[in-house]
Structure 1
Amino acid sequence: MANKTENMENNQNNPAEQEEKQCGCACHKSEHSEKSECACHSDGECECKKDISEIEELKAELEKAKAESAKNYDNYLRSVANLDTYRRRVLRDMEEIRKFAIQPFVEELLTSVDNLELAIEHARKNEDFKDMIAGIEMVLGQIKKVFNNFGIEEIRPLGEDFDPNFHECVAHSPSSDYPENKVSSIMRTGYKLNGRLIRPASVVVSSGADKE
């Protein structure tokens, strides 16, 4: 009886047996695992090396996923910005097309308008052409009304400062009516389409009063 009691006490005091009994690690419970995969402690806590390795792998995968997520979000922001830029450019181009699509047509029509104005100017020299002048002026007025509806403006800078951006100087001439560098005569009317120059006005620029 004494020997049996002594054996029981020895078993209870055996640290290895106590550790293995207290350890509930899955590695120890598995038939195909090795104890070297565990770091078991005498207090019953067990650090499974296999579990630790898996956790480290999961952490690495999580960090990788976070990096990919940040990269994808950055790409998303760039795509949104590029799309907005493209949208604004398309709208701007469409507006440009809307405003200036008729420019080639207007440029072709201006020659006819010039001829009508010349016809009126020459017809005024003859009293017999009064009725014809009235008819031509009516047609010319209708054309210019259409011009105005589509944003076409005349450039008639008589008496204004010469502006090379909108005026084409064909000659300089002394003038007692207009100071130097003022437009003293218009040889051909200029035109703008929605603020854009389509033809400069051909003008004579005053060189000041004639010096004797």
Structure 2
Amino acid sequence: MIMKKENNQNITEEQKQSANQKKEQNQKDTETTNTLENHKEEVESREESGEAEDLQYQGQGEENLEKKIEDLENQNERLEEEKQSYLQQLKRLQADFDNYKKRTAKEWERTSTEKAKELAEDILPILDNFERALNNIDDEKVDPNFYEGVNMIYDQLYEVLTKNGLERIEAEGQEFDPNYHEAVMQVDSEEHESNVVIEEIQPGFLFKDRLLRASVVKVSR
């Protein structure tokens, strides 16, 4: 009986030890499981945090891109405004230059016309003397070659003047026009109607359609 009791006690101790070992193993397994779960949660948390950071970075990148696009659009608008401003300035400069050329051309034409007119006025007395000399030459007393030479010089001088704008005013036989004729005498005439130029005493001239000298004439009453 004593032996049996001892055996029973030994079995009980072994069972207790086995139970304790199982309990310890279960605790270790639980701790291991908890550790794995914690590690898994930590990994998942880090992954979620990384995704959030990626999303945040992506959002910042999109914002930066939109800002760059907006900056480029603003810069393009400024450049377009500057271009239009430069074009307007260029157009104004071109218009000013065209006006300057026109004014210069008109001024040059006016000045050259005035100078040519002054020259023609100075030459008119010489032309008058040539004409009087030719009209009063006695063909019988003057060498025909001399007469021809003087007449040729007169024609050349008159041609140069007419090419540059000189024009003789028609007088004899025309109705008297105070704008172009200067009457120094009125005479009775049965051959002409009243107020008609019957004789030109001194020829008158226009220079480029402007009166240079009025014709000195006799007019019928």
Q: Does 1:182 align with 2:196?
A: yes
* 1:1-212 mapped onto 2 (5 Å cutoff): 1-12=36-47, 18-24=51-57, 46-48=62-64, 52-53=66-67, 55-91=69-105, 101-118=115-132, 123=136, 130-132=140-142, 139=150, 142-151=153-162, 152-207=166-221
Partners of 2:133 and 2:147 lie apart in 1 by 8
- 2:126 maps to a residue whose letter is S
- 2:169 maps to a residue whose letter is I
Q: Give the match's secondary structure for 2:168.
A: strand
Size of the aligned set, in residue pairs, is: 182
Partners of 1:105 and 1:46 lie apart in 2 by 84
Q: Give the match's secondary structure for 1:47.
A: helix
- 2:37 maps to a residue whose letter is A
CA deviation string 1:55-113 (max 9, x = no partner): 54443333222112112112222323333444455455555666664433332232233
Partners of 2:167 and 2:106 lie apart in 1 by 22
Partners of 1:119 and 1:58 lie apart in 2 by 89
Q: Which residue of 2 aligns with 1:28?
A: none
- 1:111 maps to a residue whose letter is P
Higher helix share: 2
Shift of the 129–155 alpha-carbon distance from structure 1 to 2, 3 Å rule, reads: same
Contact 1:174–1:206 (CA under 8 A) maintained in structure 2: yes
Partners of 2:143 and 2:220 lie apart in 1 by 31
Partners of 1:4 and 1:160 lie apart in 2 by 130
Partners of 1:173 and 1:2 lie apart in 2 by 145
Q: TM-score, normalised by structure 2?
A: 0.60
Q: CA RMSD in A?
A: 3.8
Unaligned runs of 5+ in 2: 1-35
Q: Which residue of 2 aligns with 1:33?
A: none
Partners of 1:69 and 1:132 lie apart in 2 by 81
Higher strand share: 1
Shift of the 52–71 alpha-carbon distance from structure 1 to 2, 3 Å rule, reads: same
Q: Give the match's secondary structure for 1:59.
A: helix
Larger Rg: 2
Identity rate, percent: 25
